[in-house]
Structure 1
Amino acid sequence: MFRTGFATVLVLLGCLLAGPAVAAYVLVGEVTDRDSYLAAVTPLADEPAVRKVVADQLSAAIDDKVPASARQLVNGSITNFVDSGEFRTAWVTLNKEVHPQLLALLRDEPGSLAVNGDAIVLDLGVLAADVKARFVADGVPLADQIPNVAAKVQVVSGSAVRQAVPAFDLLEKLSVALPVASIVLIVLGVALSARRGRTLMVAGFGLVLVTVLVILFQWLVRSQVTAKSPSPELAGPFYDALTSKVSIVLWVVCGIGGVFVIVGAFLARRAPAADPRPAADYGDQRSYRR
């Protein structure tokens, strides 16, 4: 009885670590690896909301630098740019510039992205050459004389990032240890249990409950990030892009938990059927001796 109770405690501890383990391993890998980061954020170039924010910021930065008679043509050229394949290429270039600064920000290192007031901003100056090339192609008057683009897109509030820095630091340090500890505790608990079927069911229910809670927490964090962001229509897609793999892995772990429940129930139903026979045989032997 004590053995099974101890095993159950180990399993429950492993389940509690499972949620943070997924977040640590997947999210840290997604953010710290440049190729993974670019693969996550590149599709944002096709999001209408992202294109609109970029177009609006570019237009606002240029409108006061061109004659009023040319503003409509300039704005149309900017719209053509963000709707073109050229913007996707430029967006990748922009995020290549952003990634090392984003890491420095999350790690609280010098050289991080600028905090403008209470907001993290992306400098669209990287797109200047591509925007001017589009102006020339669209026949904007004196396109080559338009000053460099000095537009910035506000993404996430500084307060939200400052709150995330300690959590990211901890997750990065434990990104390998947490998954290993979670798996070892669950496997060890099931192996030590005298009633493996029931212990496996506990592990399954624990995994399902923890992953659902983490998914709910992830949704609540998203709502907080977008609510505090100066550009929620941009912050939301960025958050989704960087956490989408976390959600997928969490649902996979939830499915594994469901399998554990089914297998555990099957094993638990089989176990009692094997217990009565020794007792019955022992009784038959006593009756025979009499």
Structure 2
Amino acid sequence: MNASGSDEPLSAAERGELQRLRRELAELRGEPGTQPRAAGHPALRWTAAVLLLILLAVLAFSTVLARFTRSELLDTDRYVQTVTPLGSNPVLQGELADQITNEIMTRLDVEKVTAEALKSITEDAPRVPPAVVGLAPVIGEQAQSFVHKTVESFVSSDEFEALWIQANREAHQELVALLTGKTRAAIQISDQGTVSISLTPIIGRVRTELTERGFAFADNIPEIDKSFVLLHSPDLVKAQRATSALEKASDVLPWLTLLVAAAVVWVAPKGARRRAFSLVGVSLAVAMALLAVAISVGRSVYLGAVPADILAPQAAAVLIETLLVPLRTTLRAVFVLAVVIAVLGYLIGPSGSAVAIRGAFGKAVDAARAPKHGRAPYPIESVAAQFRIPLRVVIIAIAVMTLVFWRYPSGVVVVVTVLVTIVALIVVELVARPATGGH
């Protein structure tokens, strides 16, 4: 008669659970042949595990931040890929149009030139009333409006987008050269940490556009050395010292994070390692949540520090939001991975709800994969059953390494990785089921 009171024989799973309970009861009673647990030993192990979980959160936070910083500071192709959409952003186009127009009109001073020309006309032609000179401000406003519309038209063109990409590529290459100390190229970065791109080629094309549209004043536009601010951070000038250490750390930190995660599970008491595995996911999720908060705070601080006369608040917001996209994508990828680890750790745990879920899943698998009466398990089924736990570990490890070491994991990469992992785990259970005796 089994524990439930029926005469049916115990299944392998029930027999294993009964033996485990008997061993624990024997340990509690101190019966011969059992090794009593050292008092306080589990507490020490949990203390070590908690400290490692805190370290894991710190390392995960630092890993994501370091790899993002490295990719945006030292990878020109990645940087250009990130900022390319800005060339077609209406807010940024408007800011560029305003800055270029103001720069051109400041150099031309159309109102002053027009007033002098009208005054000369009234002096040489007595019939022209002197009041005509008062039209100079109106003509100046019309000229400014004409120039602004021309600039707006140009910054919306494909030619501008190509110039935008080229200007950003050249500026970033010089920034990388400065940060790595490979050359002393004259990059446009001030002592206050202002990084900008040159608008000289763009203004040159605008001058040509104005000439082609019959704007006679365009011939008087001088060579204008104007820059457009991309970043403004006083701490940027200190980055050269940290670049080498940052580059090395971004390669080491992911491995260190994985080692600490494994150490958490190893240090935890033997009967609580599945719970520790789940806590690894919780720790990673907490780290990503804290990073998300830090990003929001840093964004607000940055926008408050950018002077309005250097960059309009709306344009600054668009720029920083675009540059933060890769960081937020990686953050979300790690967060999803953390949730998967936490849920999986819970599902393989000893809690009543987890046991019930596993029982329901086992029944569904049995219904889909129950062996025929009298059939012995196939060799592949026996192997899968024998190495079921190692196979689970390998599948999860591959998923973790895919998301951690994928250079720039997108949302699609995260979803596909999670789905493939789940399918692979289900396949292992389906294959192994006939050889496990129903447990």
Interval of TM-score (by shorter of Structure 1 and Structure 2): 0.7 to 0.9
Residue in 2 that maps onto 1:186: 261
Aligned partner of 2:6 in structure 1 is: none
Q: Answer with 64-73 or 103-112: which moved more.
A: 103-112
Task: Name the TM-score, length of structure 2 as normaliser.
Answer: 0.56
Q: Deviations over 1:100-125 (max 9, x none)?
A: 23335555774442327774443311
Q: Which amino acid aligns with 1:233?
A: Q
Q: Give the distance between the partners of 2:178 and 2:294, measured in 1 at CA.
A: 23
- Report which structure shows greater RCO (CA 8 Å, sep ≥6): 1
Question: Does the 8 Å CA contact 1:14/1:184 hold for their aligned counterparts?
Answer: no
Look up the match of 2:60.
18
Q: Which residue of 2 aligns with 1:220?
A: 297
CA contact (8 A) 2:191 2:234 kept: no
Q: How many pairs does the alignment contain?
A: 273
Cα distance in 2 for partners of 1:247, 1:167 equals: 23
Equivalent pair of 2:193/2:235 in contact (CA under 8 Å): no
Identify the residue that residue 277 of structure 1 maps to in structure 2: none
Q: 1:162 to 1:227 in 2, by over 3 A?
A: farther
Bigger radius of gyration among the two: 2
1:201-222 Cα deviation digits (max 9, x unpaired): 2212111111110111111111
1:60 alignment partner, one of 102, 106, 129? 102
Superposed CA offset, 1:29-87 (max 9, x none): 23311111100001011222211221111111111333344433222211111122222
Structure with higher helix content: 1
Moved more, 206-215 or 67-76: 67-76
Decide whether aligned partners of structure 1 residues 114 and 15 sit closer, same or farther in structure 2, where only a CA change above 3 A counts: closer
Question: Percent identity between the aligned chains?
Answer: 25
Report the Cα offset of residue 7 of structure 1: 4.4
The answer to whether the 8 Å contact 2:57/2:287 transfers is yes
* Paired residue secondary structure (1:182): helix
Counterpart in the other structure of 1:238: 319
After superposing the two structures, state which structure 1 stretch, 91-100 or 134-143, moved more.
134-143
Distance of 1:15 and 1:234 partners within structure 2: 34
Measure, in 1, the Cα distance between the counterparts of 2:215 and 2:225. 19
CA RMSD, aligned part only? 2.8
2:274 corresponds to which of 181, 197, 207: 197
| Matching of residue 132 in structure 1 with residue 207 in structure 2 | yes
**Which of 343, 354, 378 does residue 262 from structure 1 map onto?**
343
Amino acid at match of 2:75: D
Pairing 1:211–2:288 present? yes
* Preserved contact between residue 60 and residue 284 of structure 2 (Cα < 8 Å): yes
Is 1:141–2:183 an aligned residue pair? no
Q: Is the Cα–Cα contact under 8 Å of residues 180 and 243 in structure 2 kept in the other structure? A: yes
Q: 1:31 to 1:114 in 2, by over 3 A?
A: closer
Gaps of 5+ in 2: 1-41, 112-138, 356-439
User: Which residue identity lines up with residue 333 of structure 2 in the other structure?
Assistant: V
Assess, with a 3 A threshold, how the Cα gap between structure 1 residues 228 and 156 changes in structure 2: closer, same or farther.
Answer: farther
Number of the residue aligned with 2:170: 97
Q: Is 2:333 the counterpart of 1:252?
A: yes
d(CA) in 1 for partners of 2:74, 2:219: 38
Change (3 A) 1:60 1:155: same
Q: Is 1:150 matched with 2:192?
A: no
Q: Is the 8 A contact 2:63 2:250 kept in 1?
A: yes
Distance, in Å, in 1 between the alignment partners of 2:342 and 2:153 is 54
- Does the 8 Å contact 1:46/1:88 carry over to 2? yes
Partner SS, residue 188 of structure 2: coil
Please give the alpha-carbon distance, in whole angstroms, between the structure 2 residues aligned to 1:241 and 1:25.
17
- The SS at the match of 1:156 is strand
Unaligned runs of 5+ in 1: 274-290
**1:249-289 Cα distance to aligned partner (Å, 9 max, x none):** 1112112221222122222226998xxxxxxxxxxxxxxxx
Q: Distance in 2 between matches of 1:105 and 1:228?
A: 24
Structure 1 stretch displaced more, 198-207 or 60-69: 60-69
